[in-house]
């Protein structure tokens, strides 16, 4: 049974990150990235539940401390380096359907790697999704300054070829203003329609609402963590204020 109007936040937090070890629980200003995602969901009044999908008991304990639910652990086969998002989503939907018999109309997909979220932007994304009954999903993105049309690949013989199939090197050398504006998905906030996922076994579909935000910092490397730390030294973001007002830092939480 799908409950109309209900929104559950779902936060993926597998333990096996290779680029930055234990990335999802790495601390910035004393709090793990996972806690910032949970705080973003808590600050959205439309979200009725916050679920963390993890394959780690340690991560699950941290998630619960900062206010999320972990009713299940993600199976290891859905938590590999190559596991697509649809696997953890379908696992969560299947578990809730089987064990609780009810599902939300929407899931808000929040990645821990985007910790500098603003309440107003998250709330506005929900408004956009709720206003469009035809939409299969909503994805946040930001403008890409350098168009991919101008990029090269290298052929087996060592010469360049255009990244775009059928485009010559000279055609790719046009001024960037001559190309279409492109956008980079950034994981800031995505909204997914549960019924669409169940019927199509896809996350987003072909009617994806464009939700353009200022460029977001997404943690892929240690330098990104350092940059977020720097930003928070310049200004105390609302999510950090919320965490400081309600929770101990991870090092003091006894986890």
Angle at CA of residue 167, ends 161 and 172, nearest 5°: 80
Enumerate the β-bridge partners of residue 28. 31
Q: What is the rounded average pLDDT for all residues in the chain?
A: 94
* Lowest-confidence segment of 91-95, 108-112, 179-183, 229-233 by average pLDDT: 229-233
Where along the chain do its domains lie? 2-143+182-252, 145-180
Tell me the per-residue pLDDT of 3-58, one tens digit each, with 9 for 90 and over. Answer: 999 999 999 999 977 778 899 999 999 999 999 999 999 999 999 999 999 999 99
> Of 201-210, 214-223, 225-234, where does the model show the most confidence?
201-210
Judged against a pLDDT cut of 90, whether residue 61 lies above it is answered with yes
Q: Which two tokens stand for residue 177?
A: 């203003």
What own/partner pairs with CB < 8 Å and gap ≥ 24 does 218-226 have?
A: 218/111, 218/113, 218/114, 218/186, 218/187, 219/20, 219/23, 219/26, 219/33, 219/112, 219/113, 219/114, 219/115, 220/19, 220/20, 220/113, 221/19, 221/20, 222/20, 225/20, 225/26, 225/28
Judged against a pLDDT cut of 90, whether residue 236 lies above it is answered with no
Tell me the per-residue pLDDT of 109-130, one tens digit each, with 9 for 90 and over. Answer: 999 999 999 999 999 999 999 9
Pick the CATH number of 2-143+182-252 from 3.40.50.720, 2.60.40.10, 3.90.550.10, 3.40.50.300: 3.90.550.10
Closest to 62 (Cα-Cα) out of 16, 87, 26: 26
Burial class (CB in 10 A: 0-12, 13-18, 19+), 254: exposed
Higher pLDDT, 26 or 218: 26
pLDDT at 125: 98
pLDDT at 217: 83
Is pTM beyond 0.85? Reply is yes
pLDDT at 50: 98
**Adjacency order of strands within the sheet including 208-212:** 47-53, 2-12, 103-109, 183-193, 137-143, 208-212
Percent above pLDDT 70 for the chain: 100
């Amino acid at each position: 049974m799908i409950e109309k109007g209900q929104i559950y936040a779902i936060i993926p937090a597998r333990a096996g990150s290779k680029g930055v070890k234990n990335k999802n629980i790495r601390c910035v200003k004393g709090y793990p990235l996972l806690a910032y995602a949970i705080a973003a969901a808590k600050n959205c009044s439309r979200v009725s539940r916050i679920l963390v999908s993890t394959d780690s008991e340690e991560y699950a304990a941290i998630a619960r401390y900062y206010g999320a639910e972990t009713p299940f652990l993600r199976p290891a086969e859905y938590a590999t380096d190559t596991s697509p998002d649809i696997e953890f989503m379908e696992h969560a939907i299947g578990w809730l359907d089987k064990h609780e018999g009810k599902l939300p109309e929407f899931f808000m997909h929040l990645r821990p790697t985007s910790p500098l979220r603003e309440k107003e932007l998250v709330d506005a994304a929900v408004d956009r999704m709720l206003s469009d009954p035809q939409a299969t999903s909503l994805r946040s993105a930001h403008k890409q300054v350098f168009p991919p049309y101008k990029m090269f690949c290298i052929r087996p013989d060592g010469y360049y070829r255009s990244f775009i199939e059928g485009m010559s090197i000279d055609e790719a050398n046009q001024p960037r203003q001559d190309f279409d504006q492109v956008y980079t998905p950034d994981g800031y906030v995505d909204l997914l329609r549960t019924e669409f996922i169940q019927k199509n076994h896809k996350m987003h579909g072909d009617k994806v609402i464009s939700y353009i935000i200022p460029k977001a910092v997404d943690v892929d490397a240690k330098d990104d963590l350092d940059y977020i730390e720097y930003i928070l030294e310049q200004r105390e973001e609302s999510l950090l204020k919320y965490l400081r007002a309600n929770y101990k830092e991870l090092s003091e939480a006894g986890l």
